[in-house]
Chains A and B, each alone.
Chain A
Amino acid sequence: MNWDWSAVGDFMPHFWDGLLVTLQALVLGSLISFALGLVWALLMRAPTRWVRWPVGVVTEFVRNTPLLVQLFFLFYVLPEWNITFSAMTTGVVAIGLHYSTYTMQVYRAGIEGVPAGQWEAATALNLPLTRTWTAVILPQAIRRVVPALGNYVISMLKDTPLLMAITVLDMLGEARLFSQQNFQFTEPLTVIGVAFILISYPASLLMRALERRLVR
């Protein structure tokens, strides 16, 4: 085992570039998954099965197939249909879409967890449907789902290295590039591995603390 600190030093500028890309992908992917997941969850409560059924099948399909293959699908198939995005945009959309099928279940649990009395009170007060949702149900549901959503953000963080497979230079992409140029694999790969632990472990502690506070 030979560890070369100068290689670590040389890698660090690339590391920060990669970290920035990773965090960008993470933030954008999270936003997409939060918004889209809520849309799926609300559509699954639609009165007609002609909405519920297709949404259920599509989300089940996306949830049970590998994100990597979905990335390839979007990256190679969309250009054939004359839709071209940058690799980064494709990756962000794929991650957001994939995780929206998970956040949807979280939202569903949150909505179902709102006591029936709240619905009845909204009916008794003659609140219109939109106001029932925006002022009564969702504020209570979303408060309860914050920690669970946070856990999916941590999972998403650990999935961002997959973007490397479609040429995005995230942390792993930078590490691979550096390794191949300098023929030093040990240092960059270990540095990013440790970086992931240093980010995700405190984040998971934070989510556990949030869960104690927000979910009863």
Chain B
Amino acid sequence: MTSGLWELVLKGIWVTVQLLVFSALLAAAVSFVVGIARVHRLWIVRFLAGFYTEVFRGTSALIMIFWVFFVLPLAFGWQLVPMWAGTLALGLTYGAYGSEIVRGALNSVDAAQVEGGIALSFTPWQRLRLILLPQAVPEMIPPFSNLLIELLKGTALVSVMGMGDLAFSGNLVRLALQESAEIYTYILLIYFVIAFLLTRLMRGLEKRLKAGVGQVPEKGVSQAELHRPETSGVGGGAV
């Protein structure tokens, strides 16, 4: 591999990282808004949030990407820059999975905590901000960590649309060298390293947040595997 080709790969890594950060931010925003809406006291809000979740979890992320790239410009006249189109499709899809995590964590907070808040005449917003979220957020970190890895794997999908991410740079190098074993091994290794770093980062975050509510991270929670909600559908099992 020549240095020019490595430069392509480096550019690909940069695009992948950018896309990962943007779509993770959008997905986090969507999951909190939709997840909190799913425990709202008005049924219509709960219903709409649930509808959103089922629709976006129901289709494949790749189909969403096709839809945003091809149908949105034709049907609504919105032509998005590829980076934003990819962010939109991935963020909305993974946000739907994330909203299930948020809902589950909010529901798992002891009901007596909320009742205590009512007894102290906190407003709903105060209960959410001061009682529910500080206890629920640390619980969300391990499943969010899994979802982040799924999102990283999902970013590879935009290469189908010709966006120059890491997977796409692999295809370019393959075409240039007419030889694929080496470059695809490197590409897989790079993805693995990024995933490893993300896992480490999230584990550190979990430790800090749990220390904030006087807990330590659990080890070996294999039983959760049997009760986890349905998974993401881009290379598998998040949540």
| Interfacial residues, chain A to chain B (CB-CB below 8 A) | 1-2, 61, 63-70, 72-73, 76-77, 80-81, 98-99, 102, 105-106, 108-110, 112-113, 144-145, 147-148, 151-152, 154-162, 164-165, 172, 175-176, 179, 185-186, 189-190, 192-193, 196-197, 200-201, 204, 207, 211, 215
Contact = CB atoms under 8 A, between A and B. Distances in A.
Interface string B51-72: 0001101111111101100110
A179 B59 contact: no
A158 B181 contact: no
A155 B146 CA distance: 15
A73 B183 CA distance: 9
A64 B196 contact: yes
Nearest to B56: A197
B237 interface: yes
Given A148-B226, A148-B228, A201-B58, A189 B234 contact: no
Given A72-B170, A152-B237, A64 B74 contact: no
B167 A172 contact: no
Interface of B: 54-55, 57-64, 66-67, 70-71, 74-76, 149, 152-157, 159-160, 167, 170-171, 174, 179-181, 184-185, 187-188, 191-192, 195-196, 222-237
A26 to B, nearest CB: 12
A185 B70 contact: yes
B195 A65 contact: yes
Contact of B236 (A68, A98, A164): A98
Contacts of A112: 222-223
A112 B221 CA distance: 11
Nearest to A176: B66
B230 A102 contact: no
Given A64-B196, A65-B195, A68-B159, A159 B230 contact: no
B170 to A, nearest CB: 7
A63 to B, nearest CB: 7
Contact of B167 (A66, A106, A159, A160): A66
A69 B225 contact: no
A90 to B, nearest CB: 13
Given A64-B192, A69-B188, A72-B171, A102 B63 contact: no
Given A157-B233, A158-B234, A189 B71 contact: yes
A3 to B, nearest CB: 8
Contact of B74 (A70, A151, A186): A186
22 contacts: A64-B153, A64-B195, A65-B188, A67-B234, A68-B153, A69-B188, A72-B174, A77-B180, A80-B180, A98-B235, A98-B236, A109-B222, A145-B226, A151-B228, A152-B237, A154-B233, A165-B160, A172-B66, A179-B70, A189-B66, A200-B58, A200-B59
Given A159-B235, A161-B63, A162-B157, A64 B191 contact: yes
Given A148-B226, A155-B233, 6 more contacts: A66-B152, A66-B153, A113-B223, A162-B157, A196-B59, A200-B233
A200 B179 CA distance: 38
A72 B237 contact: no
A148 B55 contact: no
A64 B145 CA distance: 12
Contacts of B236: 63, 67, 98-99, 102, 152, 155-156, 159
Contact of A152 (B54, B179, B231): B231
